[in-house]
Amino acid sequence: MPIAGSEIVKMLPGKRPCKDCGFPTCFAFAMKLASGGATVDKCPYLSEDVKARLLDLLAPPIKLVTIGSGENAVKIGNEEVIYRHEKTFVHSPGIALLISDREDNARIEEKIRKIKELQFPWVGVNLKADLLALHFESGDKAKFLALVKKVYDSTDLGMVLISENMDALFAARDICADRNPLLYPITKENIDEDIPKIKANLTPVGLRGGSIEELVLLTTKLKDAGVEELVLGPGSKNLLEAIRDQTFIRRAALKQGFRPLGYPTIAFPCFMAKEGLKEIIAGSAFINKWASIVVLSDFDQYSLLPLLVQRLNIYTDPRFPMAVEQKYYEVGEPDESSPVLVTSNWALTYFLVSSAVEATKVPAYVCVKDSEGLGVLTAWAAGKFSGDSVGAFIKKCGIGDKVKHRKIVIPGKVARIRGELEDALNLEWEVIVGPRETTGIAAFLPAFAKQLKGPS
Ligand code: SF4
């Protein structure tokens, strides 16, 4: 539960008004701290003890945990609300593909290829599964370690290492520790003996409890030992139990501020359902109901894509429209005489315009002006697609160096910015009013491109 500024101020030194934190009073600083707009280190007069207490009180109710490294790192946790409409969800669940060391080589290769190839670029986002979960089932430690090494060498993905044999688990961890794998499961049976081994080469730790109470004991022990990147596995036997446990953990962390359950969770539809479709449906339920990692035994494009789209929809911040980065985009392989179109940065607008351009097979540049995620007409009405601002963007985005002509096409719906835009571009560019709708691009663009090329 968030701490109030009025509580924080009681812990501050009260050297009014030293202002060294950049705020006029301790109270103003406390209010900013409570709302997340300032950091504790801005006040130089806090004792180490007070600083530590404040950091603990201000920490998000669900801890942030990172699995994997580099651009494939999967961040989970840091959530603040039960339901997305209360604010937003922060980190979408990682989807993991399970590989058992009992599977034959051809099947292992196929799964590695599958997770690499099944990627779906969509309006500036790359939809894909995130992790490989490697399961020690064969009883042959050397075989499991060979699987871990193979995955480590042939992919850059983060890994979940699953083994009841702790020797095998820690040996596997040591192969890929720089990839920050999640170790699973640490249980009440092995925790005391394994804490020193966990700390010897620290990576995130997945806990499996026979009950929620058992998970509380495990997280408390590990936190006291200084191990804080934890992921909770409630050990639920079926979907009903699992949803109940996920709900209990989430509510305890967010509504009661109960720190021992303030960690992301893992769910295993792969071990709950015998049949592929049921497993995917269970995976879908866990995406809805708060699992931070969902482990699937298999998928193909037809089962994975719906899960990825569902995840994208739920974990998109409802307070902001989806937007693409402001810059010029190349559609096809444009050259110095290719058409230049300008549009706003609402993801759907960009997607429609670039798809319509692509369909004409005319290579072109699409200049996307930051309009805070608004469509063209709304952006214009809100003053975010004025001739002046579009002109400033065109001047600095570098498109002038890419083409030798000086003609730029604006959407027909904002024809009225034409004069202002030409002025903003110092009359160096001719502004052409394009179609009102993207459906008009099919007829407009080929003829316009022909004009630009001139007589052949
Ligand atoms: Fe108060 Fe610290 Fe800010 Fe000074 S620097 S005003 S003591 S919070």
Q: Which residues pair with 250 in a beta bridge?
A: none
Q: At what angle do helices 239-254 and 276-288 cross, to 10 degrees?
A: 10
pLDDT in tens, 168-178: 999 999 999 99
pLDDT tens for the chain, 456 residues: list them: 567 888 888 888 876 678 888 898 888 898 988 887 888 999 999 999 999 889 888 888 999 999 999 999 999 999 989 998 888 898 999 999 999 999 999 999 999 999 999 999 876 689 999 999 999 999 999 999 999 999 999 999 999 999 999 999 999 999 999 999 999 999 999 999 999 999 999 999 999 999 999 999 999 999 999 999 999 999 888 899 999 999 999 999 999 989 999 999 999 999 998 888 999 999 999 999 999 999 999 999 999 999 999 999 999 887 777 888 999 999 999 999 999 999 999 988 999 999 999 999 999 999 999 999 899 999 999 999 999 999 999 999 999 999 999 999 999 999 999 999 999 999 899 999 999 999 999 999 999 999 998 765
Burial label, 346 (beta-carbon count in 10 A; 0-12, 13-18, 19+):
buried
Task: Give residue 34's pLDDT.
Answer: 86
Task: Give residue 88's pLDDT.
Answer: 87
CB distance 18 to ligand 1 below 6 Å: yes
Residue nearest atom 8 in ligand 1 by C-alpha distance: 26
Number of H helices, E strands in the chain: 17, 17
Task: Give residue 87's pLDDT.
Answer: 84
CB distance 24 to ligand 1 below 6 Å: no
176: helix, coil or strand?
helix
d(CA 221, CA 205): 13
CB 343 within 8 A of CB 326: no
Atom of ligand 1 nearest to the CA of 12: 8
CB 412 within 8 A of CB 380: no
d(CA 380, CA 400): 23
Task: Give residue 15's pLDDT.
Answer: 67
Q: Is this structure's pTM higher than 0.85?
A: no
d(CA 293, CA 276): 18
Task: Give residue 92's pLDDT.
Answer: 95
Sign of CA dihedral 24, 29, 32, 38: positive
Residue nearest atom 3 in ligand 1 by C-alpha distance: 21
Atom of ligand 1 nearest to the CA of 18: 4
Q: Which of 8, 16, 21, 33 should be mutated for ligand 1, with most atoms under 8 A from CB?
A: 21
Tokens of 318: 């409802």
d(CA 243, CA 221): 25
Dist. CA 26 → ligand 1 center (Å): 5
Length of the chain: 456
List, in order, residues 6 or more apart from 244 with CB less than 8 Å away: 236
CB neighbour burial string for 17-45, b if at least 16 within 10 angstroms, e if fewer: eeeebebebbbbbbbbbbeeebebeebee
CB distance 29 to ligand 1 below 6 Å: yes
CB distance 23 to ligand 1 below 6 Å: yes
Dist. CA 55 → ligand 1 center (Å): 16
Q: Which of 9, 45, 47 should be mutated for ligand 1, with most atoms under 8 A from CB?
A: 45
CB 430 within 8 A of CB 422: yes
Tokens of 154: 């042939």
Dist. CA 42 → ligand 1 center (Å): 8
CB distance 45 to ligand 1 below 6 Å: yes
Task: Give residue 176's pLDDT.
Answer: 97
Residue nearest atom 1 in ligand 1 by C-alpha distance: 26
pLDDT in tens, 61-73: 999 999 999 999 9
Dist. CA 39 → ligand 1 center (Å): 12
CB distance 43 to ligand 1 below 6 Å: yes
Dist. CA 109 → ligand 1 center (Å): 59
Q: Which of 20, 40, 42, 47 should be mutated for ligand 1, with most atoms under 8 A from CB?
A: 20
CB distance 40 to ligand 1 below 6 Å: no
CB distance 26 to ligand 1 below 6 Å: yes
Q: Which of 8, 9, 16, 18 should be mutated for ligand 1, with most atoms under 8 A from CB?
A: 18
